[in-house]
Amino acid sequence: MLADIIPGIANFNWHPSKYRPRPSSSGPTQCKRKLTYKALEYPERKPGDRFAVVLDDSSWHEELTCQWIEQSTFKLHSQQMPVTIPNALPWLIDYEQPFICNMCGETIQPGSLHGHIDGICTDLFFEDYLFEHKAINHFTFETYRKGAWPIDHMTQCVLYFEGLHDIQPELNKAILLIKNKNTSGYLEYLLQYDFHSKTLTILETTVSDGTIIDLGDPLPTFPNLFQDALEQFAMIETHRNAGTLPDRQYEPHEWQCEYCPFNDPCWNSLEITTEKVLELNDETTKLAHELDRLTEDRKRLEKEEDKLKRAFRLLLKNHGVQRAHGPTIDVLRKEEHRSTVNQELIPLDILSAARTTSTIEKLLVKPHAKTIKAMPTKSAYLRVINQ
Ligand code: SF4
């Protein structure tokens, strides 16, 4: 009653957002081609209803985490505070109009990079930390726990550091808190940013069971995240102006492509091939018709078999028996247990991570003139069965 309507409600008000450079889309693993499609205002596919619920869940996870933090000795404040880096995107200054941010209502000047921080955490010693929260699926969480860097989220933190620098120049540490939506475990990165060298360093990584992940010596540092992010936006702009697209960044079986709203224009354009056609001679034409005949016969026989099975099931059911006995043949109905995987119960992100795509080859024969074959009707069987 409710299960099937909730996802539809969650997705009811979906409408595509307008492209603009944002801190949340600045990382290197964001598909540049996808962002360019958006910048070029290609029509985008509406996300699946369940995906809308998954996205909404993430913001509620953040809300829940903030409630836990409020009960700690940390003080969380400045939540969703707007952050702007003026003139970060100089190539837009002459082309863009000022716009009003629909989150904070601020008027943003052309060429500015604008976003909102999740908050600032202040500890007992009045030291401030930029706070960034992410709620993610188990699969991605595990890749981070095993050593992959959450590079997009770190880039986002760097942009916020830069944006906050004028108003809070001493703020150079961040807590990037990543929540596993499946297990409710946390992974915390303590980050430090050097404004002079524009380098981000991971000082510490802690798992919610208290495990401190060995980061090695020297600590992992990332020198170019700010510059790389701006160059990425510049590159998308170059493509937008030229009406061109960057190379594909992912393969069709990867989740980035599976959930990409531009999957159709991106991959269907590859279908254009210069197909060569072989002329069949008399002999191979005959064989192709023979193959068509066999295929049609098989389909017809399968349909006939299916109809007869349904008729006999009905006969047994009408007489309340499992078995019918004849002089030379028996008909029996058996129940077998099969174990199957209900994909509906698997979280969307895990299902996607586990899915692989392979190419299968199909051979089809399509006669130019179709032969119509006579088929016995269902009622003919039923008449015999019911005698
Ligand atoms: S389908 Fe894949 S490669 Fe193409 S734009 Fe989307 S994410 Fe990028």
Residue nearest to atom 2 of ligand 1 (CA): 257
Tell me how long the chain is: 387
Q: Which of 15-29, 106-120, 123-137, 166-180 is predicted with the least confidence, judged by mean pLDDT?
A: 15-29
Query: Is 135 touching ligand 1 by the criterion CB < 6 Å?
Result: no
Pocket test for ligand 1, best of 30, 32, 33, 268 (most atoms within 8 A of CB): 33
C-alpha 245 to ligand 1 mean position (Å): 11
C-alpha 35 to ligand 1 mean position (Å): 9
Indicate the DSSP class of residue 211.
P
The pLDDT, as a whole number, for residue 185 is: 95
Tokens at 169, concatenated: 């120049």
Closest ligand 1 atom to Cα of 32:
8
Helices (H) and strands (E) in the chain, counts: 11, 13
b/e map 73-93, b = 16+ CB within 10 Å: eeebebeebbbbbeebbeebe
**pLDDT band, residue 372 (cuts 50/70/90):** very low
> Which residues does 213 contact at the CB level (< 8 Å), separation at least 6?
145, 147, 205, 206, 207
Question: Do 300 and 375 contact (CB within 8 A), yes or no?
Answer: yes
Closest ligand 1 atom to Cα of 254:
2
**pLDDT band, residue 14 (cuts 50/70/90):** confident
Q: Which of 151, 156, 157, 188 is nearest to 171 (CA)?
A: 157
Query: Is 122 touching ligand 1 by the criterion CB < 6 Å?
Result: no
Query: Is 34 touching ligand 1 by the criterion CB < 6 Å?
Result: yes
Query: Is 35 touching ligand 1 by the criterion CB < 6 Å?
Result: no
Pocket test for ligand 1, best of 34, 267, 270 (most atoms within 8 A of CB): 34
C-alpha 264 to ligand 1 mean position (Å): 9
Closest ligand 1 atom to Cα of 261:
6
Query: Is 51 touching ligand 1 by the criterion CB < 6 Å?
Result: no
361 pLDDT higher than 80: no
Question: Do 347 and 137 contact (CB within 8 A), yes or no?
Answer: yes
Residue nearest to atom 7 of ligand 1 (CA): 257
> Which residues does 346 contact at the CB level (< 8 Å), separation at least 6?
354
Tokens at 161, concatenated: 């550091």
Half-sphere exposure of 224 toward its Cβ, with a 13 Å CA cutoff?
Answer: 6
Domain ranges of the chain: 6-271, 282-324+342-385
Greatest CA separation found in the chain?
Answer: 96
Closest ligand 1 atom to Cα of 31:
8
C-alpha 289 to ligand 1 mean position (Å): 41
Query: Is 259 touching ligand 1 by the criterion CB < 6 Å?
Result: no
Pocket test for ligand 1, best of 29, 248, 258 (most atoms within 8 A of CB): 248
Residue with tokens 């290609």: 42
Q: What is the distance between the alpha carbons of residues 38 and 43, in angstroms, rounded to a whole number?
A: 8
b/e map 159-173, b = 16+ CB within 10 Å: bbbbbbbeeeeebbb
Query: Is 192 touching ligand 1 by the criterion CB < 6 Å?
Result: no
- The type of residue at 366 is K
**pLDDT band, residue 187 (cuts 50/70/90):** very high
The SS3 call for residue 248 is: coil
Query: Is 38 touching ligand 1 by the criterion CB < 6 Å?
Result: no
The pLDDT, as a whole number, for residue 360 is: 63
Q: What is the distance between the alpha carbons of residues 337 and 339, in angstroms, rounded to a whole number?
A: 7
Residue with tokens 């064989």: 287
Question: Do 199 and 222 contact (CB within 8 A), yes or no?
Answer: yes
Q: State pTM to two decimals.
A: 0.69
Indicate the DSSP class of residue 73.
S
- Higher-confidence position of 346 and 311: 311
**pLDDT band, residue 371 (cuts 50/70/90):** very low
Query: Is 32 touching ligand 1 by the criterion CB < 6 Å?
Result: no
The pLDDT, as a whole number, for residue 270 is: 58
Question: 67-96: per-residue pLDDT in tens?
Answer: 999 999 999 999 999 999 999 999 888 878
358 pLDDT higher than 70: no
Closest ligand 1 atom to Cα of 33:
5
Please confirm whether the linkage preceding 218 is cis (ω < 30° from 0): yes
For 29, phi and psi rounded to 5 degrees? -90, -5
Closest ligand 1 atom to Cα of 249:
3
Question: 239-290: per-residue pLDDT in tens?
Answer: 988 889 999 999 988 889 988 999 988 988 654 445 678 889 999 999 999 9
Q: Which of 168, 185, 186 is nearest to 177 (CA)?
A: 186
Indicate the DSSP class of residue 328.
S
Question: 292-329: per-residue pLDDT in tens?
Answer: 999 989 999 999 998 999 999 989 988 999 999 999 99
| pLDDT (mean) for 168-196 | 96
The pLDDT, as a whole number, for residue 239 is: 92
Element (H, E) at 325: strand 323-325
- Higher-confidence position of 106 and 387: 106
Question: Do 95 and 234 contact (CB within 8 A), yes or no?
Answer: no
Torsion sign across C-alpha atoms 103, 108, 110, 112: negative
Question: Do 37 and 73 contact (CB within 8 A), yes or no?
Answer: no
C-alpha 291 to ligand 1 mean position (Å): 39
